[in-house]
């Protein structure tokens, strides 16, 4: 997997997806010997040759190297092709704030060693890089996981138990959210042990009809249950191109009818506090989880932009996270 810009670094940590950290100057490693391979035998992945670690680079009391290793293993441990080395944990001029340096490489391009830097707050609970703040520690997704178990009460399918929680935050007017519904269907089929919940997160600044569509959906769920909601959602996404402008009302009425609901009753509900409060609660939950784009999937608290990785990668991440939460 190629190295990409440093702005992707936090995405790599957050979703354990394709490696995307800055390639920077690091001490050079010895060049491997050129060993010819048999023409019919593919070369085995090489082990990265990281430069020697200097003990002087570890002058901060917190976090410990073990803390950092635990965090990186949670973030990247699903990928056997990725290797890393904690290269430094250093004091900074800010009291209690430590700078962490990690060297990382892929076995497929073992000698392309990249550097990832981030700062850890004095309480050891958060890391900071550029303009992003992420949970840090041996269990970085636990707070999100518990919050979703307690408050993600949107329409659901799959297992009733919430031990394995998949929560999708989506916007009915978002084209990528429409595309993500096929992914959601596959996840429900491939992980029957998971509780899959849909949470409304209308991006009202760019999608003016999304909030109304979400309120209609909330009312369909209140009156007809989760099964009716997912029929409604499928109908709205299928007619998404007509949702903007004057066609919006008809799209919503058709979707409510397809779900077996009375569109007049749903319209009345959507204009009431019952419909709006449900959407507002879902939005507040997303904001508390730092959702800043849709569609966003939470896998036992781990945030993954659903369109950022292939389905095979996403499935691997789900399997890995679920294995940690047994």
- pLDDT reported for residue 94: 97
Task: Encode burial over 87-124: b for 16+ CB neighbours within 10 A, e otherwise.
Answer: bbbeeeeeeeebbbbbbbbbeebbeebbbbbbbbbeee
Domain boundary assignment for the chain: 6-27+44-135, 142-324
Q: Which residues of the chain have pLDDT under 50?
A: 1-11, 14-39
The pLDDT assigned to 55 comes to 96
Phi, psi for 35 (deg, rounded to 5):
-110, 115
pLDDT tens-digit series, residues 124-155: 999 999 888 899 999 999 999 999 999 999 99
190: how many CB neighbours lie within 10 A of its CB? 13
Please tell me the predicted confidence (pLDDT) of residue 23. 34
pLDDT value, residue 102: 96
DSSP run (H or E) holding 279: helix 273-288
Q: Each residue of 19-78: pLDDT tens digit?
A: 333 333 333 333 333 333 444 555 556 778 899 999 999 999 999 999 999 999 999 999
pLDDT at 37: 40
Element (H, E) at 302: strand 302-305
Question: What pLDDT sits at residue 77?
Answer: 92
Nearest by Cα to 299 from 223, 195, 225: 195
User: Using CB atoms within 10 A of its CB, is residue 53 exposed (0-12), middle (13-18) or buried (19+)?
Assistant: middle
Q: What is the pLDDT, as a whole number, of residue 3?
A: 31
User: What is residue 139's predicted lDDT score, i.e. its pLDDT?
Assistant: 92
Instruction: Check residue 42 and give its pLDDT.
Output: 52
CATH of 142-324, one of 3.30.565.10, 3.40.30.10, 3.40.50.300, 2.60.120.330: 3.40.30.10
Query: Which residue from 305, 322, 39, 324 is spatially nearest to 193, judged by alpha carbons?
Result: 322
Per-residue pLDDT at 54: 95
């Amino acid at each position: 997997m190629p190295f990409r810009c440093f702005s992707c670094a936090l995405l790599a940590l957050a979703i354990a997806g394709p490696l995307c950290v800055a390639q920077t100057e690091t001490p050079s490693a010895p060049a491997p010997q050129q060993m010819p391979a048999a023409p019919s035998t593919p070369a085995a992945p090489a082990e990265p040759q990281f430069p020697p670690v200097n003990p002087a680079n570890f002058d901060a009391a917190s976090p410990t190297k073990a803390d950092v290793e635990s965090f990186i293993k949670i973030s990247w441990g699903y990928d056997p092709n990725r290797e890393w080395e904690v290269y430094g944990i250093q004091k900074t001029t800010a009291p209690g704030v430590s700078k962490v340096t990690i060297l990382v490489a892929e076995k497929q391009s073992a000698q392309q060693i990249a550097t990832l830097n981030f700062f850890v707050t004095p309480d050891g609970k958060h890391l900071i890089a550029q303009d992003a703040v992420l949970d840090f520690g041996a269990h970085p997704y636990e707070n999100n996981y518990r919050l979703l178990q307690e408050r993600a009460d949107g329409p659901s399918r799959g297992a009733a138990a919430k031990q394995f929680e998949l929560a999708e935050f989506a916007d009915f007017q978002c084209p990528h959210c429409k595309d993500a519904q096929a992914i959601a269907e596959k996840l429900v089929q491939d992980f029957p042990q998971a509780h899959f919940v849909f949470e409304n997160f209308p991006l009202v600044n760019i999608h003016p009809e999304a909030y109304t569509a979400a309120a209609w959906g909330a009312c369909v769920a209140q009156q007809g249950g989760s099964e009716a909601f997912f029929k409604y959602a499928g109908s709205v996404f299928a007619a998404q191109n007509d949702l903007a402008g004057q066609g919006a009302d008809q799209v919503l009425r058709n979707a409510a009818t397809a779900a077996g609901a009375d569109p007049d009753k749903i319209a009345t509900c959507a204009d009431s506090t019952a419909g709006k409060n449900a959407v507002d609660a879902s939005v507040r939950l997303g904001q508390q989880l730092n959702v800043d784009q849709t569609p966003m999937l939470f896998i036992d608290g781990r945030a993954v932009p659903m369109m950022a990785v292939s389905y095979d990668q996403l499935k691997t991440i789900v399997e890995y996270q679920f294995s940690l939460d047994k």
